[in-house]
Amino acid sequence: MSGKEPIEQLSSIQSEIVMLSQTANVLHWDMETQLASGGVAQRAEQLAYISGLIHTKATHPRVGELIGLAEQQAGTLDAVQRQVLRVARRDYDQAVRLPQAHVEAVSRETGLANHVWAKARAENRFEDFRPHLEKLVELNRQAAEYLGYSDHPYDALLDGFEQGMTVAQLDQVFGEMRQGLVKLVASIAAVPQVRNDFLTRGYPADKQREFGEKVARDIGYDFSRGFLGISAHPFTIELSSDDVRITTRYDEHFLPTALFGIIHEAGHALYEQGFPSGIKNTVLASGTSLGVHESQSRFWENTVGRSRVFWQRYYKDLCQAFPAQLADVDLETFYRGINTVAPTLIRVEADEVTYGLHVIVRYEIENKLIAGTLAVKDLPEAWNARMQE
């Protein structure tokens, strides 16, 4: 039908899919940063509809044909085209296993659940969120069956975030990590604690934002291609390759939340803002995997942001922003304070050592929920029990 090569026809269809995915991301961004409660139901419908459109395009038989044809000509493709083809094959093989109604339902329920979660979190009412979480767990259990797996249903879902990763591998890696981390936490708890009372003094949100924006800008986050918003759960999202936004939440009585949160998200964003122009707004412009993405965010947050050398440069600026709050705190005290290791209930506010334990606990719980060996109603108890360990 067209004189174009299969890979070019494929790229053209993919660019429509990318456009729709970016549009869905705009809907998401707005939902989490600005949408009022009354608009949630129809927004969930909009998200479901756009997801359905994406799925229809992505699973069209012509896409499968084009991928097959392009694979036969793989030898003639350049390096970028070969990667586009690899991702196309993978996305297609996954997408065709999922019924459209399922894809739409996941999108709709995620939209509805998000708002309920934020409200339930603010009011500390797990029961309000429970039916939504049950629905999402059920949908994910179904997805695992649709996608298929050899050993664990969780493998099928894990693959979407970290290709090729399995429960078997994670159990081993996390098992070793857990042992080491628990020992480390215990030995730290056994010695005199550093002073960090000053982190919970009153820090006005607007001053926090100002300082956070300065640091984000300095480490390379490009505000002319992004925006720093506010949301209940901090995240980074790509509305296009030249519009990579980040959020944080400001706790006026806990400085580290936004301070390291912004550096963390800016780390994610640097990765996405840094794609070369040749792959902008293509399927390749979204990061290799969750693990690689977190390596960027946590590198900036911890390796850079909690280092002595970083604060040798920035502590005077922070003191300028909060002169009264930090009047009796010298650089070394501050540096040690922000590196306090102590168990906390909130992953995104956890220190460098216990953060890993949060990830492990979350993995263990998710794995059981998907396997069906833990019910959502028993989740708070299971989580609390693990958090005690």
75 binds a copy of itself, rule: CB under 8 A: no
Active site residue 265: yes
Q: Is 233 helix (H, G, I), strand (E, B) or coil?
A: coil
Determine the size of the site formed for a copy of itself (CB under 8 A).
Answer: 35
- CA separation for the pair 232, 107 (Å, rounded): 19
Judged by CB under 8 A, which stretch of 27-35, 113-121, 336-344, 357-365 contacts a copy of itself? 27-35
Q: Which of 238, 234, 259 is nearest to 247 (CA)?
A: 234
Residue with tokens 């304070």: 337
Please tell me what DSSP assigns to residue 301.
Answer: I
Using CB under 8 A, which of 4, 8, 12, 34 touches a copy of itself? 34
Site string for a copy of itself, 52-71 (x = CB under 8 A): -x------------------
**Helix or strand holding residue 116 (H, E):** helix 100-123
Q: Rounded to whole angstroms, how far apart are CA atoms 360 and 156?
A: 18
Q: How far is the CB of 230 from a copy of itself (least distance, A)?
A: 12
Give the residue from 346, 110, 327, 357 showing the smallest Cα distance to 249.
346
Q: Which is nearer to a copy of itself, 286 or 307 (CB)?
A: 286
- Fill in the per-residue mask, 222 to 241: x = in contact with a copy of itself (CB under 8 A), - = not in contact: xxxxxx-----------xxx
What tokens does 353 get?
């050592």
Pick one of 4, 8, 12, 19: the residue that binds a copy of itself (CB under 8 A).
19
Choose the stretch contacting a copy of itself; rule: CB under 8 A; options: 40-48, 251-259, 291-299, 350-358.
Answer: 40-48
If one asks whether residue 23 binds a copy of itself (CB under 8 A), the answer comes out as yes
Phi, psi of 229, deg, nearest 5: -110, -170
Among 71, 242, 252, 349, binds a copy of itself (CB under 8 A): 242
Site for a copy of itself in 269-298 (CB under 8 A): 281
Question: Residue 228 is inside which H or E element, if any?
Answer: strand 228-230
| Alpha carbon distance 70, 43 (integer Å) | 37
Q: Which residue bears the tokens 């930090």? A: 326
User: Contact positions toward a copy of itself, by CB under 8 A?
Assistant: 16, 19-20, 22-23, 26-27, 29-30, 34-39, 41-43, 45-46, 49-50, 53, 222-227, 239-243, 281
* Residues identified as active-site: 265
